[in-house]
Structure 1
């Protein structure tokens, strides 16, 4: 067995050291540029922990709505997402096949350990299928001081009802007063108000009336999302009622055959921006822009032209993710 040893001359050693130093310098410059780029877009530094947001919602096996949609949105915004599952929903964008609520004790344990272990900066709720679920969430979040976005998922986009009258009462009595923001669509707002709008109101007056009355009753800001009342105007307009002040957030109406999970993504985006420290009105405006952009870039699979992944979040540019 033989071995050989090579010896670097002083000149070759010096040249190697110089080359290594040059590459180290380039790497440091690249790292600084990446860090600056991320921070300028509102993302945390790669060397620091990201903000944390918690979604308390149902699981959608098609991953278009529920906690799956929420996690995609949080990740897009540079937010670490936590999940507390309330129900397992067997569904596709066209149909809900089955819903299995989880035991309230299991929901309680999930939320308890997550709040204890992580610095949760914001929370959103989605599907809370039983009055017991609503009560557990209200009990654990009351007095926490954590911004809470309540997306009252009372039915699916295909019409399946998730909430009984008992659940509606629990929302009104326990959860709505704790919310930093409610994000119902018009049918959900009408159910929470316990009535339909009167025939004397015009199409333009109905969402304004619903947002105002629900906001005054709950004592919290209400963002009435406009997807159910905007088709004829060619604008998807959302109405924010906040302490007597009304603000509109508008974007182009995008005519798609399915809107599965769009509301989940919208409320998750607001929650994610709140976790990043963005003020409420700005968070809504940014979330509106993000959802509109993702709808414009929706895609479908050849196997079934009716089933769309509406929110093509992975196709959004860095500018659209701000």
Structure 2
């Protein structure tokens, strides 16, 4: 592990969730609870709650780039997390800023919210190609992996990715880390039966980025990230009538 004299500086590039369960809000909570210093570049503003996404308004690519530049030029960064992007133009700007930066990047290819609301159009999904290429790790769930072309397409890209199984069927959740040239690493755990699972993907990717930023290996960062998500699921406060938020505040 790196001997940092400061908390790991984690830049999260994602959309805002007005209800606080996912997106930038979940990222900041996760990074902070894990001892990191959270910075943000907000890509879009959403009106949403546990029942779904009521409205989305993307920021301009120029504004997203300006936020990233402001953080990088003054505070610096040890790792970055990419979540909801909002447009193909924003995806391109993010790729330009992060390429060659030399720090770990975790890309959560957000396409559909837990509630089922679509958060990425076809042009934005097409722009994901460049981000997958620069990412240290991409973290698709089952429908996102399918939308990206499946395991064969990811293999053809030479991608390092964590195939998340949280929304697959069954009583056991299986996550598989695929790294070209090595055997897959598989994590399994009993499914936590709860509807309060809003923001699981955001939380996991931010937790992994924080671990990488402080010098953990990829396997170690994923292991700790999964444990954090499970603890937050078990400690959900019970808010909302739909897919409620998790209990980040209870995880020590």
Asked whether the 8 Å contact 2:24–2:40 carries over to 1, the reply is: yes
Given the superposition, is the C-alpha separation of residues 235 and 107 from structure 1 closer, same or farther in structure 2, using an over 3 Å criterion? same
1:199-238 alignment, distance < 5 Å: 210=150, 212-229=151-168, 231-232=169-170, 234-238=171-175
Given the superposition, is the C-alpha separation of residues 94 and 305 from structure 1 closer, same or farther in structure 2, using an over 3 Å criterion? closer
Q: Distance in 2 between matches of 1:313 and 1:259?
A: 11
Q: Distance in 2 between matches of 1:147 and 1:186?
A: 24
Larger Rg: 1
Q: Which runs of 5+ in 2 are unaligned?
A: none
1:274-301 CA distances to partner (integer Å, 9 max, x unpaired)? 1111010110011111111221122214
Pick 1 or 2: higher relative contact order, CA cutoff 8 A, min separation 6: 2
The aligned counterpart of 2:58 is 101
Give yes or no for the alignment of 1:69 onto 2:26.
yes
The aligned counterpart of 1:207 is none
Asked whether the 8 Å contact 2:115–2:243 carries over to 1, the reply is: no
Q: Which runs of 5+ in 1 are unaligned?
A: 1-41, 194-209, 318-322
1:269 to 196, 207, 210: 207
1:1-322 alignment, distance < 5 Å: 48-172=5-129, 174-193=130-149, 210=150, 212-229=151-168, 231-232=169-170, 234-244=171-181, 245-301=183-239, 304-306=240-242, 308-310=244-246, 312-317=247-252
Q: Distance in 1 between matches of 2:232 and 2:65?
A: 34
TM-score of the pair, normalised by structure 1 = 0.74
Asked whether the 8 Å contact 1:82–1:114 carries over to 2, the reply is: yes
Q: CA deviation at 1:265?
A: 0.3
TM-score of the pair, normalised by structure 2 = 0.94
Q: Which has the higher helix share?
A: 1
Backbone CA RMSD of aligned residues:
1.8
Q: CA deviation at 1:258?
A: 4.1
Q: Distance in 2 between matches of 1:77 and 1:59?
A: 20
The aligned counterpart of 1:33 is none
Aligned residues: 251
Runs of 4+ in structure 1 off by over 3 angstroms are: 42-45, 304-307
The aligned counterpart of 1:22 is none
Asked whether the 8 Å contact 1:215–1:241 carries over to 2, the reply is: no
Asked whether the 8 Å contact 2:160–2:177 carries over to 1, the reply is: yes
